[in-house]
Amino acid sequence: MFSERLASVKPSPSMAAKAKVDALRAQGRKVIDFTIGEPDFDTAPHIIEGGIDALKSGQTRYTASAGTPALRAAIARKLERENQLGFRTDEIVVGCGAKHIIYNAFAASLNEGDEVIVPAPFWVSYPDMVALQAAKPVIVACSEESGFKLAPDALAAAITPRTRWLILNTPNNPSGAVYTRDELEAICNVLRAHPQVWLMTDEIYEHFVYNGVKHVSPLQIAPDLRERTLLVNGLSKAYAFTGWRIGYGAGPVELVKRINLLLTQSTTCASAMSQAAAVVALDGPQQCVSEAARLFESRRDRVMELIARIPGLSCVRPDGAFYVFVNVQQLLGLQTAMGKSLQSDVDVMNFFIEEAGVAVIDGTSYGCPGFLRMSFATSMEEIEAGFAAIASAVAGCTAVSGMKSA
């Protein structure tokens, strides 16, 4: 009766975590939420007005499946202005979020038994979206010592004749790692030797980079890979636009056509109102984006200070995105004040929500056991309260011998 492919697919851990937070709050529990990858502020007023104006002017109907000509032109201008990349509008396709584009790109290009290289830690949905096409996600571990970045030799070792894609996320969710120009050049050199491997580059966090770090799109340094590269981006993070659901892909015409074919038979098109607001966002003042980046950088700095004060926690400082990927391996083997033994990052995640009232996501879901992802896309007040609660809970842990750990 049901698809056998679904047996290997898990619900999105981030969405499951949010559902758990909502359920606990509905029960009257106070929960500080560090799970969700969503800016905690509203879409800028001028962008909201763009959506309202679109409704008032009658933009309430179907659009072209690939996106309105106005939005695809605005995306082309953005890519030229911000990334120095030239794309025609027929090389651009709009979807209901970046996830929608990634899913349809895999659906349009993968056959049973094909392989997709997924560096770990990875955004939770990549492997399952590959599995839904009856293809195989090939997970390549990227160590904390390497800054959670894919090494060229590890990439080369993972490539087989069945490899069809490498998906590269920079800045990275969950680690906040940002690849440098030299690091990307080394990866692209490996890909040059394997013409059957395409590159999907997820750049949704490109505007949130800190300490003078610069986001570099692989196509800026490897234009020769253009005919087998799909650049994926969207407005959700940069413009606090998550609920409007607009993402896009830019790549070879034949791939874009096939993604669009799938759109015609599934969603038909993204919301007309949202597309109109997206044009206003991309073409209008960018102050809201730069202000958000400064805010997230200040939060990142404070979070790193607070982590350093808690025995048993450590963290590589993220250069981008709005997450910290916290090493909790020193807590493993301890016993909580409620008598529960911490044997894994999942145990620590449950400990934090049950005994500290702080919701986080386990690193196992991101392909890296022993870590937790914590979002700092929340207020400084919540950040302070959340880490104070974690510190108090950790201080109550004891070693097996009964001695205090902190």
Domain boundaries of the chain, sorted by first residue: 4-42+288-395, 47-284
- Checking if the pLDDT of 11 tops 90, the result is no
How high is the pLDDT of residue 404? 47
Structure token digits, residue 249: 């892909």
Q: What is the DSSP letter of 404?
A: B
Residue 176: pLDDT over 70: yes
d(CA 87, CA 229): 12
Two tokens, residue 28: 């009257």
At 257-309, the pLDDT tens digits run 999 999 999 999 999 999 999 999 999 999 999 999 999 999 999 999 999 99
> What's the mean pLDDT in 367-381?
98
Domain 47-284 belongs to what topology?
Aspartate Aminotransferase; domain 2 (3.40.640)
Residue 19 in 3-state DSSP? Answer: helix
Task: Give the whole-angstrom CA distance, residue 293 versus residue 298.
Answer: 9
Mean pLDDT of 222-245: 98
Give the residue among 386, 284, 366, 308 at the shortest CA–CA distance from 51. 284
How high is the pLDDT of residue 401?
58
Tell me, what amino acid is at 8?
Answer: S
Q: What pLDDT, on the 0 to 100 scale, is given for residue 395? A: 97
Q: How many CB atoms lie within 10 A of CB 264?
A: 12
**Rounded mean pLDDT of 134-148?**
97
Place of tokens 């902190």: 406
Strand residue runs (E) in 126-216: 136-141, 163-169, 198-202
**In terms of Cα–Cα distance, which of 108, 112, 144 is closest to 131?**
112
Q: What is the CATH number of domain 4-42+288-395?
A: 3.90.1150.10
Q: Is the pLDDT of residue 343 over 80?
A: yes
Task: In whole angstroms, give the CA distance from residue 91 to residue 42.
Answer: 31
Mean pLDDT score across all residues of the chain: 96
CA 102 to CA 89: how far, in whole Å?
Answer: 19
The pLDDT, as a whole number, for residue 403 is 44
Q: Is the pLDDT of residue 123 over 60?
A: yes
Mean pLDDT value of segment 384-396? 98
Does the CA dihedral 293-294-295-297 come out positive or negative?
positive
What does the pLDDT read at residue 19?
A: 83
Task: Give the residue from 145, 215, 178 showing the smallest Cα distance to 319.
Answer: 178
What percent of the chain is modeled with pLDDT above 90?
90
DSSP string of 248-277, one letter each residue: EEE--HHHHHHHHHHHHTTT-S--HHHHHH
